[in-house]
Structure 1
């Protein structure tokens, strides 16, 4: 018997993230065996993920499992897994908006669906949230296009545009756009010795929005510039929000610090981002000093809607809740623009009419990965 098991894989970039893509047929159906395989494939737990394909960063320790559709209104099923780096965790609690942009490209290249020129619509059933994402993929000569003029802050160069429609993802995690029924809620934070206001919104990926100034920050900080206490307070708020939403995950709701638009220098390249380029600043932070180096796609969807709901922390940071609008989010690597349209009915209930944004995506490599048989068979 071979000591290693060979697994067909592709590595895809979607937006500002990278993920290992697996065909559903190659993934064990047993949950425990599947978790062991994914952890071994990524080299987790290990802070360097040196014995696997993980890149030792939350933006690259991601997996997408693609298979035939399990419902009639979809073309493919997409299951997203966030793989822990220095912890043996495999989380299915959210959808990755950046990686979702690569699912249609992968499906077309794998001939799971037929390419139509010049644009192919791909209906993606995200099994994590039970919602349908709609992608428009540019195609030529029967294949997804790679070259194009679409530019994304945080990704060098340009590429063919992939348009993502997240209009059908409202309440995917909690069943409600505003899980607590309120645009803002008050929470007592012992570490601060006082109450602050937060907003929990569920569309794309459920998020809890926090005024950066309430945590002693400006909202324009880059990775490495936050106070150590900020991460501890943000995780306390996440756990409080999760309890009030009936969630039990370890990553959601995403903790998003927001503030008014302002000048700052971008992460990495050092380009000066001008306040006039954006509507507000936002940073995703988390436990263990986590700072997203760009911005999560699902979180951007949520923020674009939250910024147009009167009374939310996000709308206060923006300074105007009127819509529909293209919300320009100032993040560490630049600016991300997301179009959102949300309306308030006569009953006072808010509902999402439309929300979409664009990314680029391409295949970086494919081949076989090897995991130890002893790990899978233990």
Structure 2
């Protein structure tokens, strides 16, 4: 046989999808692992025609799971962002949408057991150290996929999956405001560099001559915007202590604008070489925190949400996403206690995926 078979589950997690593996079924060293994942997804072709990828950044994501040795977690979640046309695998970021499928996948793989009609799974992000509780419906000890929960960007309805994020401030840089300021000016553009679940460089859409309500396709066609945005992102990454980020997908980039559809704020999120068709779960937490932190570039664009926890509704290209934020703004500034989101997931396929033996001969 000239190919190596690797067991996998294939799930839609939130508004993303990709293969979910048991980490023990993959090579240990990162260099070989990266080559295997590139082969699995078919990277290097715009349609990923020779792999499982879907020709977009939201469909070239990989999840690797294992039983956790951490006493405060049940499952370790290791994420990889695989490029569509390039030959790169980024192990630095995490993905909140794919996290939506971690609970169901862990149950399907037998890494955790159902504990009743509802199972709470403690997840540790290997990439960032963040801790998340995933609440999955498991009537009769089986994962339920059908239900009445709807999320913008996904057709139909499914069973709800609740994600409660903790310990996400400074997950990538060690600080809420890694440059030490609520605002920085780079190339004449005011930005807020914030790290909550994901390091993000945030600016006002109007400062780029945009409304902030453009479609993802319209923004992706505006190469002049990307030409102006990327140097700002790279310099911001340097100021955030992340080094040379020219070859990395982090920090991400976000644009904010006044809402038009009854939300708290409108946003466009970049991954960073194209616009997210909806909104990343990790990005949503960071943008919601930016809204609630005094003095950021979000100030003046919205009517402050009332009460604590606060409900921040972020309008995105396909609708909106709700983020419930429990926080405090005492003498120490903005302090995030937790952020909660409702997502859905569905198991699409399972079996074996094959990679050439010349890349990896297996365990």
Question: Which residue pairs with 1:197 in the alignment?
Answer: 190
Give the SS at the match of 1:88.
coil
8 A contact 2:22–2:109 mirrored in 1: no
Alpha-carbon distance change, 238 to 375 in structure 1, aligned in 2, over 3 angstroms: same
Give CA-to-partner distance per residue, 1:220-252, whole Å, 9 cap, x none: 100221332111222112111111112244111
8 A contact 1:231–1:286 mirrored in 2: no
Question: Which residue pairs with 2:257 in the alignment?
Answer: 259
Shift of 1:315: 3.6
8 A contact 1:79–1:126 mirrored in 2: yes
Question: Which residue pairs with 1:312 in the alignment?
Answer: 296
Pairs within 5 Å for 1:281-296:
281-286=266-271, 288=273, 290-296=274-280
8 A contact 1:260–1:318 mirrored in 2: yes
Pairs within 5 Å for 1:162-177:
162-177=161-176
Distance 1:322 1:240 in 2: 35
Question: Which residue pairs with 1:82 in the alignment?
Answer: 81
8 A contact 1:117–1:139 mirrored in 2: yes
Distance 2:321 2:305 in 1: 18
Distance 2:159 2:253 in 1: 31
Shift of 1:85: 1.1
Shift of 1:287: 5.0
Shift of 1:173: 0.4
Give the SS at the match of 2:288.
helix
Pairs within 5 Å for 1:43-192:
43-187=42-186, 189=187
8 A contact 1:323–1:342 mirrored in 2: no
Question: Which residue pairs with 1:327 in the alignment?
Answer: 312
Are 1:209 and 2:208 matched, yes or no? no
TM-score, structure 1 normalization? 0.91
Are 1:236 and 2:231 matched, yes or no? yes
Give CA-to-partner distance per residue, 1:264-309, whole Å, 9 cap, x none: xxxxxxxxxxx22x11110112554x11111111001111111100
Give CA-to-partner distance per residue, 1:324-366, whole Å, 9 cap, x none: 31111110110111011222232x4321122111100111000
Question: Which residue pairs with 1:279 in the alignment?
Answer: 264
Shift of 1:314: 2.5
8 A contact 1:16–1:98 mirrored in 2: yes
Give the SS at the match of 2:167.
helix
Unaligned runs of 5+ in 2: none
TM-score, structure 2 normalization? 0.94
Shift of 1:10: 1.1
Alpha-carbon distance change, 253 to 239 in structure 1, aligned in 2, over 3 angstroms: same
Alpha-carbon distance change, 321 to 315 in structure 1, aligned in 2, over 3 angstroms: farther
Alpha-carbon distance change, 297 to 287 in structure 1, aligned in 2, over 3 angstroms: closer
Give the SS at the match of 1:22.
strand
Give the SS at the match of 1:364.
strand
Distance 2:2 2:298 in 1: 53
Question: Which residue pairs with 2:39 in the alignment?
Answer: 40
Give the SS at the match of 1:159.
coil
Deviating more after overlay: 228-237 vs 362-371: 228-237
Q: CA RMSD in A?
A: 1.5
Distance 1:286 1:135 in 2: 24
Shift of 1:321: 7.0
Shift of 1:122: 0.5
8 A contact 1:308–1:322 mirrored in 2: no
In the alignment of these two chains, the number of paired residues is 355
8 A contact 1:234–1:286 mirrored in 2: no
Distance 1:315 1:24 in 2: 43
